[in-house]
Amino acid sequence: MCLPTAEKRPKGWIMQLESANALVLQLLQPDTTFSFLGWVAAGFSIGKLIASPLVGVWANFRRTREPLLGTLILLFGANILYMYLQSIPWHPEIFLLVVRILMGVSDGES
Protein backbone atom coordinates (compact mmCIF):
# COMPACT_ATOMS: atom_id res chain seq x y z
CA MET A 1 0.00 0.00 0.00
CA CYS A 2 1.76 3.09 -1.17
CA LEU A 3 0.25 6.03 0.68
CA PRO A 4 -1.03 8.53 -1.88
CA THR A 5 -0.40 12.22 -1.65
CA ALA A 6 -3.00 14.47 -0.01
CA GLU A 7 -4.49 15.49 -3.37
CA LYS A 8 -5.09 11.89 -4.50
CA ARG A 9 -6.50 10.45 -1.26
CA PRO A 10 -10.17 9.57 -1.03
CA LYS A 11 -11.77 12.01 1.42
CA GLY A 12 -13.08 9.33 3.82
CA TRP A 13 -9.64 7.81 4.32
CA ILE A 14 -7.66 10.89 5.35
CA MET A 15 -7.86 10.31 9.10
CA GLN A 16 -7.23 6.57 8.91
CA LEU A 17 -4.34 6.83 6.48
CA GLU A 18 -2.44 9.07 8.84
CA SER A 19 -2.93 6.80 11.83
CA ALA A 20 -0.16 4.77 13.38
CA ASN A 21 -1.78 1.53 12.22
CA ALA A 22 -1.55 2.60 8.58
CA LEU A 23 2.14 3.37 8.96
CA VAL A 24 2.84 0.08 10.75
CA LEU A 25 0.83 -1.82 8.15
CA GLN A 26 2.78 -0.15 5.35
CA LEU A 27 6.06 -1.20 7.00
CA LEU A 28 4.89 -4.79 7.51
CA GLN A 29 3.22 -5.36 4.15
CA PRO A 30 3.77 -2.61 1.54
CA ASP A 31 1.28 -4.06 -0.99
CA THR A 32 -1.70 -4.35 1.36
CA THR A 33 -5.11 -2.94 0.44
CA PHE A 34 -7.27 -0.18 1.87
CA SER A 35 -9.95 -2.70 2.82
CA PHE A 36 -7.49 -4.61 5.00
CA LEU A 37 -6.55 -1.33 6.67
CA GLY A 38 -10.25 -0.91 7.41
CA TRP A 39 -10.34 -4.35 9.05
CA VAL A 40 -7.28 -3.47 11.13
CA ALA A 41 -8.91 -0.23 12.25
CA ALA A 42 -12.16 -2.06 13.06
CA GLY A 43 -10.39 -4.92 14.86
CA PHE A 44 -10.37 -3.07 18.18
CA SER A 45 -14.12 -2.47 18.02
CA ILE A 46 -14.82 -6.05 16.98
CA GLY A 47 -12.83 -7.36 19.94
CA LYS A 48 -14.58 -5.03 22.34
CA LEU A 49 -17.99 -5.97 20.91
CA ILE A 50 -17.28 -9.65 21.53
CA ALA A 51 -15.65 -9.28 24.96
CA SER A 52 -17.81 -6.68 26.71
CA PRO A 53 -20.81 -8.94 27.40
CA LEU A 54 -18.58 -11.86 28.38
CA VAL A 55 -16.46 -9.81 30.75
CA GLY A 56 -19.63 -8.24 32.16
CA VAL A 57 -21.07 -11.68 32.99
CA TRP A 58 -17.70 -12.68 34.45
CA ALA A 59 -17.70 -9.57 36.67
CA ASN A 60 -21.27 -10.25 37.83
CA PHE A 61 -20.54 -13.78 39.01
CA ARG A 62 -17.03 -13.26 40.35
CA ARG A 63 -15.24 -10.43 42.09
CA THR A 64 -14.68 -7.45 39.82
CA ARG A 65 -10.94 -7.60 40.49
CA GLU A 66 -10.57 -10.82 38.46
CA PRO A 67 -11.84 -9.45 35.12
CA LEU A 68 -9.89 -6.26 35.66
CA LEU A 69 -6.63 -8.13 36.24
CA GLY A 70 -7.37 -10.60 33.44
CA THR A 71 -7.95 -7.90 30.86
CA LEU A 72 -4.93 -5.95 32.12
CA ILE A 73 -2.70 -9.00 31.63
CA LEU A 74 -4.20 -9.52 28.17
CA LEU A 75 -3.50 -5.88 27.29
CA PHE A 76 0.09 -6.27 28.45
CA GLY A 77 0.51 -9.37 26.28
CA ALA A 78 -1.08 -7.70 23.26
CA ASN A 79 1.27 -4.74 23.58
CA ILE A 80 4.27 -7.08 23.77
CA LEU A 81 3.07 -8.77 20.55
CA TYR A 82 2.57 -5.36 18.94
CA MET A 83 6.13 -4.46 19.86
CA TYR A 84 7.54 -7.55 18.10
CA LEU A 85 5.44 -7.45 14.91
CA GLN A 86 8.39 -6.72 12.63
CA SER A 87 10.24 -9.82 13.79
CA ILE A 88 7.39 -12.20 12.88
CA PRO A 89 8.36 -13.85 9.57
CA TRP A 90 4.98 -15.33 8.62
CA HIS A 91 2.25 -12.83 7.59
CA PRO A 92 2.88 -10.07 10.15
CA GLU A 93 -0.14 -8.12 8.87
CA ILE A 94 -2.43 -10.93 10.09
CA PHE A 95 -0.78 -10.69 13.48
CA LEU A 96 -1.45 -6.94 13.46
CA LEU A 97 -5.15 -7.68 13.00
CA VAL A 98 -5.05 -10.28 15.80
CA VAL A 99 -3.25 -7.84 18.12
CA ARG A 100 -5.86 -5.15 17.45
CA ILE A 101 -8.64 -7.63 18.25
CA LEU A 102 -6.84 -8.67 21.45
CA MET A 103 -6.52 -5.02 22.46
CA GLY A 104 -10.26 -4.62 21.95
CA VAL A 105 -10.94 -7.74 24.03
CA SER A 106 -8.72 -6.38 26.79
CA ASP A 107 -10.76 -3.17 26.77
CA GLY A 108 -13.96 -5.18 27.27
CA GLU A 109 -13.89 -4.44 31.00
CA SER A 110 -14.57 -0.74 30.55
CA 19, CA 16: separation in Å to the nearest integer? 5
Query: Is residue 16 situated within a structural domain?
Result: no
* pLDDT above 50 for 14: no
- Which domain covers residue 89, as residue numbers? 35-109
Query: What pTM was computed for the model?
Result: 0.77
Domains held by the chain: number = 1
Asked whether residue 102 is assigned to any structural domain, the reply reads: yes
* pLDDT at residue number 78: 93
Most confident of 2-6, 18-22, 62-66: 62-66
